[in-house]
Amino acid sequence: MRRAYFKFSWIAAALLAPQLLIIFVFFYWPSMQALYWAFTLEQPWGGGNTWVGFDNFTKVLSDPYYWGSVRVSVIYALATTVLAMTMALTLAIFVDRQLAGYRVWRVGIIWPYAVAAPAVGLAFQFVFNPGAGIFSYINTIAPGWWDLSKYPWQAVTAIVIAGAWKQVAYSFIFFLAALQSIPRSLTEAAAMDGARPLRRMVDLQLPLLTPTFFFLLVINITDSFTDSFGIVDTLTGGGPFRATDLMVYKIYTDGFRGFDYSGAAAQSIILMLLVMALTFVQFRYVERRVHYT
Amino acid sequence: MIERTPILNIATHVILAFGLIVILVPIWLAFVAATHTLQAVNSAPVEFWPGDQLWVNLQQAWAQSDFGPKFVNTLIVSIGVVVGKITLACITAFALVFFNFRGRMLIFWMIFITLMLPLEVRIVPTYAVAANALTPFQTIMDWTGINWLIATLSGVEVKLEWNLLNSYTGLILPLVATATGTFLYRQFFLTIPDELVEAARMDGAGPLRFLWDVLIPLSKTNIAALATIMFVYAWNQYLWPLLVITDRANYGMVVVQLSDLVPDQLTTGGGTPTWHLAMAATLVVMLPPIAIVILMQRWFVRGLINTDK
Amino acid sequence: MAEIIIRNVAKTYGKTTIMDGVNLTIRNGEFVVILGPSGCGKSTLLRLIAGLEDITDGEIEIGGQIVNQLEPRERGCAMVFQNYALYPHMTVAENIGYALKVAGVAKAERLARIEATAKAVGLADFLDRKPGQLSGGQRQRVAMARAIIREPKVFLFDEPLSNLDAKLRVQMRHEIRRIHNAVGATSVFVTHDQHEGMTLADRLVIMNKGTIEQIGTPEDIYEHPASLYVAGFVGSPAMNILPGSLDATGLSVLLADGQGLDIPSSFKARAGQLVQIGLRPEKLSILPKGHGQLSATFQFFEELGSARIYHLLIEDIPLGVVSEHKLSLTEGETVGIGFPTSALHVFDGPSGRSLDRPGVAERVAELV
């Protein structure tokens, strides 16, 4: 705790006001609005909303399309996270050996972080394109076998690979930073104990990365729920047959294409709760991370 | 390195090279497509090496998407978001750290909770608010009867309206609130020794003077780190501008423009998909943030690690 | 002209009382050192004077004006901090001149004053450097210059020398005293180092647990400590303390090992009272067995070069003697200990208050 403060005055209030106002108008009010819509239904002939209790939720939860969306969201979250983190961890451990060209490797792996999700989606749409990309080879051998716009599993695979590709850099940066914060004396002590480099990776580096690992796990899953919009929108547009209709994408389409505010709001509330739960878990692990160091 | 490990070293380079190739391949293919003609891209065999059409394709993609004004718009919005976020983060954290008042923790938590309310999740109602940013106040005044009172007393019916759709304000304002930036600044301010504050007070500096003369110069590193991340964040915004801007000709942003380039039945009208142009445009759009990340690598990594996202 | 008067000042944080009922008058131009261990409230007292913290109760007057409600900048005090608290991004010149800049002093005048002040503390060649490029001693000088340039009525020093190495500390001590003499402002200096206290102070204030134990000149405090606490805190090596109790006559103290020690009747001691005898090591001399007022067992000695510290035991109570004489003693040897009667201090056992010549305690009250 600090002991040195300025006396509270209108200055402090004026400094706090802008952010608080923006938060109120663009975060809290819309969230409350979502709650209101989730528990009410707009009358078709106008005349305001009527209270419908959990009806909207019941409707959403009994909608097979919604459960399809949940299913693919979970698959997407887990698959991108596992792929991205495995790749990031492997690369980080080897980059951390700081051999010649260390900086080049590092930049080479970091830059995809800066690529906008829709750009990733578009680039991968080309890569996976059955007619023009490398997959056209497959189609010359087995005509019609590869087509994102026809086969759900291929579309899901495509968004997973694109999503994972985009996530690698973020996890890599954190893994590398965590590895570099391992004190050199510890590595040297292990070397004196006779542990060779590969052995040190397994016995020393991996265990010390556990907190970072958990932190990234939660962050990646949370991100995959919210940041996937751009990729889906440009790569598959939610199709085919709603196979890649991730939760965020469904909220968007139901709200802005279907004008079903109440349904979209109910879905928003569910996703909000999910994000809150994940954030909560994340901060428990962040705390643990502090304890480690 | 502690010991000589020639075999492991070779293996290290092989693994890293493999990883790098995996990362580079999709963008390489996109790049190659951007350097060939329409026919070359759409006919077998697939090209793996760049052709000579890059400049032609870039020019055509640029003109077709009218990128000139859109780049200007994107730059305005990105700079607006960066400056806004840094300013807000700085002054909010300053008030939270250097003033002692009741409700400080409450405000801290209110900002913290916004982390759990990402834009994508509250997108529909946020859009509704953007249509009239004063709705919350109108509603509150309606409920509390203030408007009724004003109407009865003065005969004027209160109608607060501020439409943010199709405006820079609408693009920027909802994006400038920043919990992570505020926390980064708070973290930094907490490392400022008490004695420095006291020395400034003894020297006669008030809070704003202290902020301007001492804290802001000291937080240059912070600003650089935050600016890098926030710039990338702002430049890459997609969903929000997609909704708020219907007047693309005047307010369109480059990333949103990508959604028009998806070569499907709608854009090609059944013709051959114009991959060469789509990929050229993609390259143009992703280049600025990549350049920033590579040039500002040091600040970027530090900022990312310290904000914990 | 600034006399500082502290009346019944109390400071609490929530329910914790840091300081209670402190009274102190610091005369104009005086150099007062507040001495005490960490956590005794000495820094808090300084910060209350500076206005960096609010007074819970009582009053502080500087130069005839009650300053309770004044902001630090309005009190005419300058402060030198323990860690110097230099602005890391400003040059030496900017650091020194910052207070003038805030006060709106014109640039030309400011530069002239910065130059003059820097010269006075020997920093003229370093004006363009940043604090990070300076040595500890130089930073200390910048901190001093920053205080001096404002020509304050009062200088406040918060353990300013504690981060310097021993040699530099002595040097800066002289410097501070020299500047004080030259400037003539009232100075309040807080430290936990008794050497700094003894050498710098016109008057010493010994604090303990948020109250003042004793106020007096360094000599006064050394010769007539008002309590066991003061006696133990001032003097190096520390004063020997021997517990005992007065016999029926009230004129002889029975020590732990059964030997008796006669005390003069001038001590206000009652028969049977539990007491603590205080003897400064440097006032004792080692005599052959059977001589002197006490007998003790020799253990070992430490060589200081100019003198030796002899470590002895009376029963199991340690007794130190500082002597220039090079004696050859064997471990376990019994020797006599002699000292002048004036070197004898007697304290009340339970309270630790001095039973010395009447008046020490009263004189404390008087000074307040």
How would DSSP label each residue in C312-334? EEETTEEEEEEESS-----TT-E
Classify strands C344-348 and C274-279 as parallel, antiparallel or unpaired.
Answer: antiparallel
- Chain A contact present for B61, CB below 8 A: no
DSSP one-letter string for C1-56: ---EEEEEEEEEETTEEEEEEEEEEE-TT-EEEEE--TTSSHHHHHHHHHTSS--S
User: Could you read off the pLDDT of C137-182 as tens digits, one per residue?
Assistant: 899 999 999 998 988 899 999 998 888 888 888 888 998 998 898 8
For A75-245+277-292, which CATH superfamily applies?
MetI-like (1.10.3720.10)
Neighbours of chain A (3+ CB pairs under 8 A): B
Question: Taking CB atoms and an 8 Å limit, are B217 and C77 in contact across chains?
Answer: no
Out of B201, B204, B213, closest to residue C52 by CB? B201
DSSP-derived letter for residue B103 is T
Answer yes or no: is pLDDT of B266 > 60. Answer: no
Please name the helix (run of DSSP H) or strand (run of DSSP E) that holds residue C242, with its range, or none: strand C240-246
Question: Taking CB atoms and an 8 Å limit, are A34 and B289 in contact across chains?
Answer: no
Q: What is the mean pLDDT of residues C321-336?
A: 90
| Residue A110 contacts residue B229 (beta carbons within 8 Å) | no
**A149 φ, ψ (degrees, to nearest 5):** -85, 0
Q: Which of C10, C3, C29, C32 is nearest to C202 (CA)?
A: C32
**C206 φ, ψ (degrees, to nearest 5):** -100, 125
Residue B133 pLDDT level (bands cut at 50, 70, 90): confident
**C32 φ, ψ (degrees, to nearest 5):** -110, 130
Q: Is C289 inside any structural domain?
A: yes
Q: Which residues of B153-181 are buried (b: 16+ CB within 10 A; e: fewer)?
A: eeeeeeeeeeebbebeebbbbbbbbbbbb
Residue C366 pLDDT level (bands cut at 50, 70, 90): very low
Beta carbon pairs, A and B, within 8 Å:
298
Statement to judge: residues C32 and C100 lie in one domain:
yes
Classify strands C154-158 and C186-191 as parallel, antiparallel or unpaired.
Answer: parallel
Statement to judge: residues C191 and C266 lie in one domain:
no
Q: In angstroms, rounded to a whole number, what is the distance separating the alpha carbons of residues A84 and A163?
A: 8
Which residue is listed with tokens 């709603």? A242
Burial of B139 (0-12, 13-18, 19+ CB in 10 A): middle
Residue type, B45: P
Angle formed by the axes of helices B54-65 and B254-261, nearest 10°: 100
Question: Taking CB atoms and an 8 Å limit, are A119 and B255 in contact across chains?
Answer: yes
- pLDDT computed for residue C352 by the predictor: 85
Calculate Rg over the CA atoms of chain A. 24
DSSP one-letter string for C246-272: E-TTSSEEEETTS-EEE--TTS---TT
Q: What is the mean pLDDT of residues C192-213?
A: 91
Number of domains present in the structure of chain B: 1
- pLDDT computed for residue C216 by the predictor: 92
Statement to judge: residues C52 and C130 lie in one domain:
yes
| Between C127 and A199, the higher pLDDT residue | C127
- pLDDT computed for residue B155 by the predictor: 78
Residue type, B129: V
| Between B300 and A124, the higher pLDDT residue | A124
- Chain C contact present for B214, CB below 8 A: yes
Q: What is the mean pLDDT of residues A8-14?
A: 88
Please name the helix (run of DSSP H) or strand (run of DSSP E) that holds residue C157, with its range, or none: strand C154-158
Question: Taking CB atoms and an 8 Å limit, are C87 and B205 in contact across chains?
Answer: no
Answer yes or no: is pLDDT of C361 > 50. Answer: no
Please name the helix (run of DSSP H) or strand (run of DSSP E) that holds residue C204, with its range, or none: strand C203-208
| Residue A115 contacts residue B290 (beta carbons within 8 Å) | yes
Q: Is B138 inside any structural domain?
A: yes
- Could you give the ipTM of this predicted complex? 0.86
Give strand pairing partners of C286: C337
Number of domains present in the structure of chain C: 2
| Residue A38 contacts residue B111 (beta carbons within 8 Å) | no
Question: Taking CB atoms and an 8 Å limit, are B236 and A229 in contact across chains?
Answer: no
Q: Is C233 inside any structural domain?
A: no
Q: Is B5 inside any structural domain?
A: no
Q: How close A106 gets to chain B, by Cα (Å)?
A: 10
- pLDDT computed for residue C49 by the predictor: 92
Return the percentage of chain A with pLDDT > 70, whole number. Answer: 93
- pLDDT computed for residue B44 by the predictor: 62
Q: Which residues of A126-155 are buried (b: 16+ CB within 10 A; e: fewer)?
A: bbbbbbbbebbeebeeeeeebbbeebbebb
Q: How close B35 gets to chain C, by Cα (Å)?
A: 50
- pLDDT computed for residue C28 by the predictor: 92
**A59 φ, ψ (degrees, to nearest 5):** -60, -45
- Chain C contact present for B205, CB below 8 A: yes
Statement to judge: residues C180 and C259 lie in one domain:
no
Q: How close A209 gets to chain B, by Cα (Å)?
A: 15
DSSP-derived letter for residue B114 is G
- pLDDT computed for residue C290 by the predictor: 86
Q: In angstroms, rounded to a whole number, what is the distance separating the alpha carbons of residues B65 and B67?
A: 5
- Chain C contact present for B203, CB below 8 A: yes
Which stretches of B133-202 are DSSP H helices? 135-144, 146-154, 168-176, 179-190, 194-202
Q: In angstroms, rounded to a whole number, what is the distance separating the alpha carbons of residues B72 and B67?
A: 9
**C20 φ, ψ (degrees, to nearest 5):** -145, 125
Residue type, A229: F
Q: Which chain B residues are closer than 8 Å to C72 by Cβ?
A: 198, 201-202, 204
Tell how far CA A168 is from the center of its chain: 11
Q: Is C248 inside any structural domain?
A: yes
Q: In angstroms, rounded to a whole number, what is the distance separating the alpha carbons of residues C227 and C350?
A: 11
DSSP-derived letter for residue A133 is S
Task: Return the CATH number at B180.
Answer: 1.10.3720.10
Q: For residue C1, count other CB atoms closer than 10 A to its CB.
A: 8
Statement to judge: residues C267 and C218 lie in one domain:
no
- Chain B segment 133-192 residues within 8 A of A by beta carbon are 133, 135-136, 173-174, 176-178, 182, 190
Residues of C with CB under 8 A from a CB of B: 47, 50-52, 71-73, 77-79, 81-83, 85-90, 98-99, 102-103, 146
Question: Taking CB atoms and an 8 Å limit, are B218 and C71 in contact across chains?
Answer: no
| Residue C268 contacts residue C355 (beta carbons within 8 Å) | yes
Statement to judge: residues C249 and C197 lie in one domain:
no
What's the whole-number average pLDDT of chain B? 84
Residue A293 pLDDT level (bands cut at 50, 70, 90): very low
| Residue C153 contacts residue C64 (beta carbons within 8 Å) | no
Burial of A1 (0-12, 13-18, 19+ CB in 10 A): exposed
Q: Which chain B residues are closer than 8 Å to C52 by Cβ?
A: 198, 201-202
Q: Which of C29, C20, C96 is nearest to C58 (CA)?
A: C20
Q: Which domain holds residue B141?
A: 67-261
The residue count for chain B? 309
Which of B64-78, B90-104, C326-340, C352-366 comes out lowest in average pLDDT?
C352-366
What's the whole-number average pLDDT of chain C? 88
Q: Give the three-state DSSP class for A139.
A: helix
DSSP-derived letter for residue A114 is G
Q: Which chain B residues are closer than 8 Å to A27 by Cβ?
A: 114, 117, 122, 177
- Chain C contact present for B213, CB below 8 A: yes
Task: Return the CATH number at C135.
Answer: 3.40.50.300
Q: Which chain C residues are closer than 8 Å to B214 by Cβ?
A: 87, 89
Q: In angstroms, rounded to a whole number, what is the distance separating the alpha carbons of residues C5 and C63?
A: 9
Out of C71, C81, C86, closest to residue B198 by CB? C81
Question: Taking CB atoms and an 8 Å limit, are A132 and B273 in contact across chains?
Answer: yes
Out of C82, C85, C146, closest to residue B196 by CB? C85
Q: Is B92 inside any structural domain?
A: yes
- pLDDT computed for residue C365 by the predictor: 46
Q: Which of C18, C241, B88, B82 is nearest to A20 (CA)?
A: B88
Please name the helix (run of DSSP H) or strand (run of DSSP E) that holds residue B96, with its range, or none: helix B67-98
Statement to judge: residues C309 and C180 lie in one domain:
no
Task: Return the CATH number at C299.
Answer: 2.40.50.140
CA-to-CA separations, A203 to A92, A190, A215, A233, B290, in angstroms, rounded:
16, 9, 20, 43, 36
| Residue B227 contacts residue B300 (beta carbons within 8 Å) | no
| Between C213 and A133, the higher pLDDT residue | C213
User: Could you read off the pLDDT of A158-174 as tens digits, one per residue?
Assistant: 899 999 999 999 999 88
Which residue is listed with tokens 């991100």? A223
Question: Taking CB atoms and an 8 Å limit, are C102 and B196 in contact across chains?
Answer: no
Structure tokens at B128: 């509704």
- Mean pLDDT is highest, among A126-130, B25-29, C225-229, C361-365, for C225-229
Q: Is B152 inside any structural domain?
A: yes
Out of A123, A191, A272, closest to residue B27 by CB? A123
**B254 φ, ψ (degrees, to nearest 5):** -65, -40
Which sign does the torsion angle of CA B138, B144, B148, B150 carry?
Answer: negative
Q: How close C148 gets to chain B, by Cα (Å)?
A: 12
Question: Taking CB atoms and an 8 Å limit, are B199 and C79 in contact across chains?
Answer: yes
| Residue C60 contacts residue C46 (beta carbons within 8 Å) | no
Domain boundaries, chain A: 75-245+277-292
Answer yes or no: is pLDDT of A245 > 80. Answer: yes
Residue type, C237: P
Q: What is the mean pLDDT of residues B292-299?
A: 85
Statement to judge: residues C256 and C139 lie in one domain:
no
Q: Is C5 left (phi over 0), alpha (psi -120 to 50) or beta?
A: beta
Q: Is C51 left (phi over 0), alpha (psi -120 to 50) or beta?
A: left
Please name the helix (run of DSSP H) or strand (run of DSSP E) that holds residue C215, with its range, or none: strand C211-216
Q: Which chain C residues are closer than 8 Å to B219 by Cβ?
A: none
Residues 6+ apart with CB under 8 A from A98: B1
Q: Give the three-state DSSP class for C213.
A: strand
Q: Which chain B residues are closer than 8 Å to A11 by Cβ?
A: 206-208
Q: Which of C165, C194, C228 is the last residue of a domain?
A: C228
Closest-CA residue of B relative to A111 is B290
Q: Which of C168, C197, C228 is the last residue of a domain?
A: C228
Answer yes or no: is pLDDT of B271 > 80. Answer: no
User: Could you read off the pLDDT of C230-279 as tens digits, one per residue?
Assistant: 998 888 888 999 998 888 887 888 887 788 888 887 787 778 888 899 99
- pLDDT computed for residue B43 by the predictor: 67
Q: Which domain holds residue C277?
A: 238-367
Answer yes or no: is pLDDT of A45 > 70. Answer: no
User: Could you read off the pLDDT of A60-117 as tens digits, one per residue?
Assistant: 888 888 888 899 999 999 999 999 999 999 899 888 877 777 888 888 888 888 898 8
Half-sphere exposure (CA, 13 Å, Cβ side) for A130?
16
Neighbours of chain C (3+ CB pairs under 8 A): B
- pLDDT computed for residue A287 by the predictor: 52
Classify strands C240-246 and C294-303 as parallel, antiparallel or unpaired.
Answer: unpaired
- Chain A contact present for B104, CB below 8 A: no
Q: In angstroms, rounded to a whole number, what is the distance separating the alpha carbons of residues B85 and B173?
A: 10
Question: Taking CB atoms and an 8 Å limit, are A6 and B124 in contact across chains?
Answer: no
CA-to-CA separations, B162 to A24, B100, B137, B140, B232, in angstroms, rounded:
16, 35, 11, 16, 28
